[in-house]
Structure 1
Amino acid sequence: MFAQYTKEFRYNLKLAYPVILGMIGHVMIQIVDNIMVGKLGSTELAAVSLGNSMIFVAMSLGIGFSTAITPIVGEGDVENDTGKIRSAFHHGLFLCTILGVMLFLLVVLAKPIMELLQQPEEVIVLAKPYLDWVAFSLVPLIIYQGYKQFADGLSMTKFSMYAIVMANIVHIGINYCLIYGIWIFPKMGIVGAALGTVISRILMVAFMHIILSRQEKLKSYFQGFMFSDIKKSMLRKIINLGLPSAMQMMFEVVLFTAAIWLCGNIGKTSQAANQIALSLASFTFMFAMGLSVVSMIRVSNQRGLQDYKNLVVVARSIFLLAIVIEIVFALLFIAFHQSLPYLFLNMDNNLQEVDNAEVIAIASKLLIVAAIFQISDGIQVVVLGALRGLQDVKIPMYITFVAYWIIGFPISWYLGECTELKATGVWIGLLAGLTAAALFLYLRFHFLTNRMRKGDN
C-alpha cells in the first residue's frame, strides 16, 4: 500500500529541495540577525524578536496572498494556456507591489502597539528604529514573492533558490560590517542588521527579474506589459484566492506573535528563550513549507488534468514525506535540546552570565515541546498546500481561525499567565492549536477529494 506513495518521494524531493533551500534562506536572514545581535546582549535579542514579531504578521499576509498566483499558473501550465499564465503573472505582480507598499505603511503606523502590549521599555527603545527599516524591506520582499510564485507554478523552483542564496551571502557580509563596525563602516548595532535585510531583499528582486526574463521559455511573459491590460476579472480571481490564503497564514503567524508577546510579559529572558526556540523551529518548518509548495503545484496540475485518483495519491505521498522528515527533526530537537540554545548567546560575556543561564534553561524546555508540535505543524501546512492547489481557501480559513484562536491561544494564555509553566505553557497552547488544524484540514481534504472522485465516476 505504501509503495504507491513512496514511489512519488523522488519527484517530490526533486521539486521540493530548491523551494526548501529558498524557504530556509528566508529564515536564515532572521536567524543570522538573531545570532549576530544575540552577541550584543539579551536586551538586543529581545528587541529584534519584538520587531520581527510585527514584521512576521505583515510578511504572512504578503506571502499568503501571493500563493494565489501558483495554482492559477500551474493549471494554465498543464492546459498549455499561455494567456492564463501571462495574466496571472502580470496581475499577481501588480497586486503584490501594491500590497508590499501597504504593508510597509501599516507596520510603521502600528509601532505604538508595542507600548499597549506592555513590553519592556528598554526593549521597545531598541526595537523601534530596527522596525522602521525592516518594515521597508517588505516592499521588495512581497514583489519578489510575485516572481517566485509565478516560477513555482511552472515547476521552475530552482530560480528562487539561487536568489535567496545570493541574498544571504550579501546579508551576512553587510550585517557583519554594520552591526559591529568593521573597517570603514560605523557600528550601528541592530539598525545595521535591519539595513542588511533591506539591501539584500532589494538585490533579491533584481536578481529574480534578470534571471527569469532571460529564460527563453519565459521571455514572452516579460514583454508588452501595460496597465490597460489589467482586468477586473483576473484581479478578482487572485484576490478571492489570495485574501483567504493570506488570512490562513496570518492566523498562524499572529498566534506565534502572541506567544512572543506573552513571553515578553513574563520577562525578557523568557522572550529571548522563545526567540531561540522559534528560530530553530522555523528553520525545520521550512522543510514542510517547501513540501507545501510542491503539494500546491502538483495538486493544481492534477486538477487541471482532472485526474482526481492520482491527485489523492500524489497529495498523500507528500503528506507522508512531511511526517517522516518532521519526525527526524523532532528526534534531533530532543537529543540536543540542552546544547542548541548556546548557538544564540555570547557565553564569554560575564555580565550576561545570569541572564544566559536562565535563557538556556527556558529554551531547552521549549525545544522539547517544539519537537512534538512541529510534526503537527508539518502536517497542517502540506495539507493546506493541497487545498490551495484545489483552489479551496475559504473553509480552510475558518478552520485555521478556530484551531489557532478558539483552541490554541486560550490555552497558551492560561498556561503562560496563570500557571507555573510560564513560557512552556505558552508553547503547549501552540501545540494544541497546530494539532487541531492538522486534523481538521486533513478531514476537509478527504471530504473534497472523495466528492471529486465520486463525481468523476
Structure 2
Amino acid sequence: MLQQYTKEFNYNLQLAAPVMMGMIGHTLVALVDNIMVGQLGTAELAAVSLGNSFMFIAMSLGIGFSTAITPLVAEADGENNFANGKSAYKHGLFLCTSLGVVLFLLILLAKPLMYLMKQPDEVVELALPYLDLVAFSLIPLISFQALKQFSDGLSMTRYPMYATLVANVVNVILNYLLIFGKFGFPQMGIVGAAVGTLASRFIMTILLWGFLKRKEKSTAYVTKIEFFVLENKMIKKILALGFPSALQMFFEVAIFTAAIWLSGILGKNPQAANQIALNLSSMTFMVAMGLSVAAMVRVGNQKGLQQFSELRRIAISIFLLAFLIATVFALIFIVCNTLLPKIYLDVDDVQNLVDNNEVIAIAAKLLIIAALFQISDAIQVTVLGALRGLQDVKIPTFITFVAYWVVGFPISYYLGLYTEYKSSGIWIGLLAGLTTSALLLYFRFNKLTKNLIQNESSFV
C-alpha cells in the first residue's frame, strides 16, 4: 500500500530538486546578507528586516500571481497543445512585468507608513534608503518569476536554478564589496546590500531568458513574440487563476510580515531575533516550495491527460515526502536551537554583548516553535500546489484567509503584545494559522479528487 506512494519519491525529487536548489540558493543569499548586515549592528539588521517586510508583501502578490502560468503551461504540455502554452507564456510575462511596475510604485507611496508603525526611529532612518533600491528590483524579479513559472510548467526546472545560482554569486560578491567598502569600493552599509540585490535580479532574468532561447523544447515559445498583441480570453484566464493565487500567498506572507511589525513594537532586539528565526525557517520552507512546484506540474499534467486516480496518487506521494523531510528539519531546529542564531551575530563583540545575547536567547525560543510548524507549513504549501495544478483557486483563497487572519493573527496579536509570551506568543499564532491552513486545504483536496475520480468512473 505504502509503496504506491514511495515509488514516486525519486521522480518527485528529480523534478523538485532544481527548484529547491534555486530557492535555497536565493535564501542562502538572504542569510549571507543578514550575516553581513548583522556585523554592522542589531539596528542595521532590524532595518533590513523592516524594509524587507514591505518587500515581502509586494513579492507575495507578484510571485503568487505568476504561479497561474505553471498549471496552464503544464496542462497544455500534457495535451501537446503548443499554441495554448505559448499564449499562456506571452500573456503571463506581459501581466507579470506590468504588475512589477505597479508594485514598485505602490511601495514608494507606502514608505511614509514606516513612521506610523511605532518602529524604533533609528531603524526607520536606516530602512528608508535601503527600501528605494530593493523596491525597484521588483520589476526584474517578477519578470523572472514569469519566465520561471513557464519553465517549470514545461518540467524544465533546472534552468531557473542555474540562473538563480549565478545571480546569487554576483549578489554575495557585490554585497561584500559594497557593504564593507572592500578593494576600493565605497562603504555603503545596508544600501550596498540593496545595490547587490538589484543587480543580481536583472542578471538572473536575462540569464534565464538566454537559457530558454537556446533550448530546443522552449525556444519556439520564447522567441518571435508579438508582446503587445493580446487576447482578452487568455488575459481573463490568467487573471482568474493569478489573482486568487496572489491573495493566497499574500495572506500567508502578510501574517509573517505582521509578525515582523509586532516584533518591532516589542523593540529592536525582538525584531532582530524574529528576523533570524524567520530567515532560518524560510530556508527550510524552500524545500517544501520545490515540492509544491512538483505537485503543481505533475497534477497539471495529469489533469491534461484526464487521469484523476493517478493524479491523486501522485499528489499524496508528494505530501508524504514533504511530511518526512519537514520532520527532519524540525528535529534539526530543536537540537540546534541555541547554536543556529549565533551564526548571525558577532558573539565576541563586547560593546554589543548584552544586545546580542538577548537576540540569541529570543531566537532560540522561536526556533522551537518554528520546528513545530515545519510540518504544517510543508503540508499546506504542497497541498496548495496540487490545488493550483487542478486550477482550483477560489476556495483555497478563502481557506488561507480564515486560517491566517481569523485564526492566526488574533492569537499572535494578543499573546505577543498582552501576555508574557511576547515574541514566542507571536510565533504561536503563526503555528496556529499554518496548522489550520494545512488541515482545511487537505480536506479540500481530498473532497475534490474523490469527486473527480467518482465522475471519471461514472463516465466510463
Q: TM-score, normalised by structure 1?
A: 0.99
Distance 1:227 1:175, change over 3 A: closer
Question: In the aligned structure 1, how far is the partner of 2:291 from the partner of 2:257?
Answer: 24
Q: Cα deviation per residue 1:238-294 (whole Å; 9 max; x = unaligned)?
A: 011000000000000000000000011011100000000000000000000000000
Letter in 2 for 1:294: A
Map 1:19-418 to 2 at 5 A. 19-227=19-227, 229-418=229-418
Deviation at 1:226, TM superposition (A): 1.5
Give runs of ≥4 in structure 1 deviating > 3 Å. none
Residues 334-377 of structure 1, C-alpha deviations (whole Å, 9 max, x = no match): 00001100000012321110000100110000000000011100
Counterpart residue identity of residue 439, structure 2: L
Question: How many angstroms apart in 2 are the aligned matches of 1:248 and 1:195?
Answer: 30
Distance 1:266 1:455 in 2: 54
- Asked whether the equivalents of residues 94 and 227 of structure 2 are also in contact (C-alpha less than 8 Å), the reply is no
Report percent identity of matched pairs.
61
Aligned-partner Cα distance in 1 for 2:439–2:2? 21
Could you tell me how far apart the structure 2 residues matched to 1:427 and 1:228 are? 45
Q: Corresponding residue for 2:426?
A: 426
Aligned partners of 1:441, 1:394: CA distance in 2, in Å?
12
Amino acid in the other structure paired with 2:188: M
Residue identity opposite 2:183 in structure 1: W
Cα separation, 2, equivalents of 1:87 and 1:367: 44
| Cα distance in structure 2, aligned partners of 1:346 and 1:172 | 19
Q: Deviations over 1:409-448 (max 9, x none)?
A: 0000000011000000000000000000000000000110
Residue 27 (structure 1) shift? 1.7
Match of 1:15 in 2: 15
Q: Deviations over 1:172-205 (max 9, x none)?
A: 1000000000012000000000000000110001
For residue 323 of structure 2, what is the amino acid of its counterpart? I
* Separation of aligned partners in 2, 1:219 and 1:296: 23
Q: CA deviation at 1:116?
A: 1.3
Q: Shift of residue 44 of structure 1? A: 0.2
Deviation at 1:228, TM superposition (A): 5.3
The one-letter amino acid paired with 2:257 is T
Counterpart Cα distance in 1 of 2:136 and 2:54: 13
The letter for the 2-side match of 1:51 is: G
Q: Residue 229 of structure 1: CA displacement?
A: 3.1
Kept in 2, the 8 Å contact 1:69–1:92? The answer is yes
The answer on whether the counterparts of 1:71 and 1:300 sit within 8 Å (CA) in structure 2 is: yes
8 Å Cα contact 1:39/1:346 also seen in 2: yes
Q: Which runs of 5+ in 1 are unaligned?
A: none
Distance 1:63 1:228 in 2: 22
Q: Partner residue of 1:443?
A: 443
Distance 2:97 2:134 in 1: 17
Gaps of 5+ in 2: none
Distance 1:45 1:280 in 2: 15
Per-residue CA deviation, residues 372-394 of structure 1 (Å, 9 max, x unaligned), is 01110000000000000000000
Distance, in Å, in 2 between the alignment partners of 1:288 and 1:227 is 34
Mapped to 2, the partners of 1:50 and 1:227 lie a distance apart of: 36
The 1-side partners of 2:105 and 2:25 are apart by: 25
Which piece of structure 1 moves more, 125-134 or 20-29?
A: 20-29
CA contact (8 A) 2:48 2:130 kept: yes
Contact kept? 2:213, 2:223, Cα under 8 Å: no
Displacement of 1:297: 0.2
Q: Is the 8 A contact 1:29 1:197 kept in 2?
A: no
Question: Could you tell me whether the CA contact under 8 Å between 1:76 and 1:85 is conserved in 2?
Answer: yes
Is residue 408–residue 429 contact of structure 1 (8 Å, CA) maintained in 2? yes
> Is the CA contact 1:29–1:168 (under 8 Å) kept in the aligned structure 2?
yes
- State which drifts further: 445-454 or 218-227: 218-227
- Report the Cα distance in structure 1 between the residues aligned to 2:217 and 2:373, rounded to whole angstroms: 42
Deviation at 1:223, TM superposition (A): 2.7
Q: Given that residues 26 and 165 in structure 2 are in contact (C-alpha distance below 8 angstroms), is that contact kept between their aligned partners in structure 1?
A: no
Count of residues in correspondence between the two structures: 457
Give yes or no for contact 1:12–1:291 (8 Å, CA) kept in 2.
Answer: yes
Asked if the contact 1:20/1:286 (under 8 Å) is kept, the reply is: yes
Give the match's secondary structure for 2:337.
coil
Q: Give 1:227 shift.
A: 4.1
